[in-house]
């Protein structure tokens, strides 16, 4: 059974138990080749196969328009077999509101202007309006291999999910590309999946 350590984010800011979470968010790319029953989530551990809290994934709700070539609509919601207990290292997180923009220059790494990001990747990939770019122009800090589905958090608010980046990690003028949580199509998909899991 594969384990998705460090790729869990709670979306269960809900009615049931404020001390437990049972739904998570990831990039769709990490979910597409496998069945839900072959995967699990491990929280509060830096190890893939031991420690922390573990729950099997019961259901996966990938975006129906996910494009494996462009990595567009790269978002997936997971229903867990049991709730994770909240504590100092497992906490809920707010989602960025629909259509709310992060100002260019915000430090979380560093927000890259959308048109600049499109230009930077012009010859390599398509950057769509469902994506947001973060990184430093000089490089040095960025997401990297095995970070897919990781969270981009600003002020305790989820604004992005690691999707893809250029050929190498933290290179100058190659910011990380994240699924944009505030995009209406992404946000509505998350809400639809959560409703299915009720």
* Residue 72 scores a pLDDT above 70: yes
Structure confidence by residue, pLDDT tens digits, 7-45: 334 443 333 334 456 777 777 665 544 566 678 888 888
Q: What are phi and psi of 7, to 5 degrees?
A: -110, 20
Options 2.30.30.790, 3.20.10.10, 2.40.10.10, 3.20.20.70; CATH of 94-183:
2.40.10.10
Ranges for all domains in the chain classified under CATH 2.40.10.10: 2-90+186-196, 94-183
Instruction: Say if domain 2-90+186-196 classifies as CATH 3.40.630.30.
Output: no
- Measure the CA–CA gap between 91 and 106, rounded to whole angstroms: 23
Structure confidence by residue, pLDDT tens digits, 102-137: 888 786 657 788 999 999 999 989 999 999 998 888
Q: Which residues pair with 112 in a beta bridge?
A: 133
């Amino acid at each position: 059974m594969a384990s998705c350590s460090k790729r869990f984010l709670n979306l269960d800011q809900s009615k049931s138990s404020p001390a437990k979470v049972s739904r998570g968010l990831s990039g769709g790319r990490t979910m597409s080749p496998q069945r839900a029953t072959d995967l699990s989530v491990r929280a509060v551990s830096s190890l893939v196969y031991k420690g922390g809290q573990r729950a099997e994934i019961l259901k996966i709700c990938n975006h129906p328009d996910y494009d494996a070539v462009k990595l567009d609509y790269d978002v997936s919601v997971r229903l867990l077999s049991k709730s994770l207990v909240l504590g100092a290292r497992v906490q809920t997180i707010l989602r960025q509101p629909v259509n709310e923009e992060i100002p260019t220059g915000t430090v979380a790494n560093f927000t890259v202007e959308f048109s600049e990001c499109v230009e930077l990747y012009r010859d390599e990939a398509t950057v769509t309006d469902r994506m947001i770019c973060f990184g430093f122009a000089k490089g040095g800090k960025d997401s990297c291999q095995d970070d897919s589905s990781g969270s981009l958090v600003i002020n305790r608010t989820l604004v992005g999910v690691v999707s893809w980046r250029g050929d190498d990690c933290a290179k100058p003028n190659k910011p990380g590309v994240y699924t944009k949580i505030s995009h209406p199509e992404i946000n509505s998909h998350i809400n639809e999946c959560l409703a299915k899991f009720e």
